[in-house]
């Protein structure tokens, strides 16, 4: 199995980050000096992905503008001696081959992924959710692709989370295969405490096979009245082997304000331009709090 294509669903309304996301897509909010979406795309590219389909909606054209050249701006940077910056800006558009499709109705994550059928054709593919930003040595998607290739089957990524968090994400029934890799026996979306299968939540990264499309087309609305990817995955894992990787990463849920702030601070601390300054600033702040 070779995974060269990825789908990034980015058609949500961003209701958890209002009012900032009223007119700016949440995927375009800056995390230090880059939009959130760029981190996701860098992870995909570092994992070997070449073609990326972004599922958008009518309010999100800022995303396709960002992954394009901007000759006027690049020219201005060249004229003012900022060639390096001009080259870096242009390189963003050359990171991968970008494709776009609109999800015309907001009907859930499963419905958004189903829009990718024509683009994917008959290949395995990755899915990366824009809210889940990872800090890791080996890109998280690469960790999943390696496992999917080894077992030649679809693979979902997740981690063990708190009782409270698991009800906000998804839960799984697992059987251990090897260190950090499991067979998925059952999975459910946003379980109540009684429905919880375990504290292992699938979050943000998936390697799927094209048989998911027929399943998604036949999946009725589930939690919150939306067509849920998780419900499709549950059908898939009962029809064929599907594995889970407990990925080795610090994960940030940038879809909510606290997660977004945590990511901002941690990434700013790692940033060459801001790291040392921010460390001093935070120490000083902590002293006076
Ligand atoms: C989505 C998925 C859920 C997953 C979560 C975190 O939920 O439906 O299964 O656990 O992302 O990646 P959302 O956060 O969009 O409600």
Q: Which domains does the chain have, with CATH numbers?
A: 5-288 (3.90.550.10)
Q: Read off the pLDDT of residues 32-73 as tens digits, 9 standing for 90 and up.
A: 999 999 999 999 999 999 999 999 988 888 999 999 999 999
Q: Read off the pLDDT of residues 217-246 as tens digits, 9 standing for 90 and up.
A: 999 999 999 999 999 999 999 999 999 999
**Distance (Å) from CA 166 to ligand 1 centroid:** 10
Nearest to 267 by CA among 42, 21, 88: 42
Ligand 1: nearest atom to the Cα of 189: 9
Please choose from 169, 198, 232 the residue to mutate so as to test ligand 1's pocket, defined by most ligand atoms within 8 A of CB: 169
**Distance (Å) from CA 60 to ligand 1 centroid:** 20
Decide: 159 in ligand 1 pocket, CB within 6 A.
Answer: no
Residue 289 pLDDT greater than 90, yes or no: no
Q: What is the largest CA-CA distance in the chain?
A: 63
Angle between helices 275-288 and 257-270 (to 10 degrees): 120
Q: Do residues 131 and 253 lie in contact, with contact meaning Cβ atoms separated by under 8 Å?
A: yes
Question: Residue 207 in 3-state DSSP?
Answer: strand
**Distance (Å) from CA 98 to ligand 1 centroid:** 24
First to last CA, the chain: 53
Considering the entire predicted model, what is its pTM? 0.95
Query: Which token pair is 98?
Result: 């970008």
Cα–Cα distance for residue pair 38/60, rounded to 1 Å: 15
Q: Could you give the residue ranges of the DSSP H alpha helices within the chain? A: 36-46, 61-66, 71-79, 83-93, 109-114, 117-120, 140-151, 163-166, 211-217, 229-239, 257-270, 275-288
Decide: 204 in ligand 1 pocket, CB within 6 A.
Answer: yes
Characterize 42-54 residue by residue with b for buried, 16 or more Cβ atoms within 10 angstroms of its Cβ, and e for exposed.
ebbbebebebbbb
Cα–Cα distance for residue pair 249/242, rounded to 1 Å: 21
Decide: 203 in ligand 1 pocket, CB within 6 A.
Answer: yes
Cα–Cα distance for residue pair 11/129, rounded to 1 Å: 11
**Distance (Å) from CA 169 to ligand 1 centroid:** 5
Q: Read off the pLDDT of residues 18-34 as tens digits, 9 standing for 90 and up.
A: 999 998 999 999 999 99
Decide: 230 in ligand 1 pocket, CB within 6 A.
Answer: yes
For the chain, percent of residues with pLDDT exceeding 90 = 91
Q: Do residues 52 and 96 lie in contact, with contact meaning Cβ atoms separated by under 8 Å?
A: yes
> Residue 224, by phi and psi: left (phi above 0), alpha (psi -120 to 50) or beta?
left
Decide: 201 in ligand 1 pocket, CB within 6 A.
Answer: yes
Q: Read off the pLDDT of residues 197-219 as tens digits, 9 standing for 90 and up.
A: 999 999 999 999 999 999 999 99
């Amino acid at each position: 199995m070779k995974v060269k294509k990825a789908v990034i669903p980015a058609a949500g309304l961003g209701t958890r980050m209002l009012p900032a996301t009223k007119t700016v897509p949440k995927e375009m909010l800056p995390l230090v000096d880059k939009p959130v979406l760029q981190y996701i795309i860098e992870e995909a590219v570092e994992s070997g992905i070449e073609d990326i389909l972004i599922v958008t909606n009518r309010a999100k054209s800022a995303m396709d503008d960002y992954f394009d050249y901007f000759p006027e701006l690049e020219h201005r940077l060249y004229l003012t001696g900022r060639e390096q910056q001009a080259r870096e800006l242009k390189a963003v558009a050359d990171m991968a081959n970008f494709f776009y499709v609109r999800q015309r109705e907001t009907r859930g994550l499963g419905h958004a992924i189903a829009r990718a059928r024509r683009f994917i054709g008959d290949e395995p593919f990755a899915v990366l959710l824009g809210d889940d930003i990872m800090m890791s040595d080996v890109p998280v998607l690469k960790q999943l692709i390696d496992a999917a290739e080894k077992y030649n089957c679809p693979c979902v990524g997740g981690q063990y989370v708190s009782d409270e968090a698991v009800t906000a994400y998804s839960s799984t029934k697992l059987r251990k295969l090897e260190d950090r890799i499991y067979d998925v026996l059952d999975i459910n979306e946003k379980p109540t405490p009684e429905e919880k299968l375990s504290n292992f939540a699938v979050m943000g990264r998936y390697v799927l096979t094209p048989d998911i499309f027929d399943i998604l087309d036949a999946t009725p609305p589930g939690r919150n009245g939306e067509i849920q990817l998780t419900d499709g995955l549950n059908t898939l894992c009962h029809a064929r082997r599907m594995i889970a990787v407990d990925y080795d990463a610090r994960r940030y849920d940038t879809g909510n304000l606290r997660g977004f702030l945590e990511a901002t601070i941690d990434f700013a601390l790692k940033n060459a331009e801001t790291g040392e300054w921010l460390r001093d600033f935070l120490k000083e702040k902590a002293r006076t709090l």
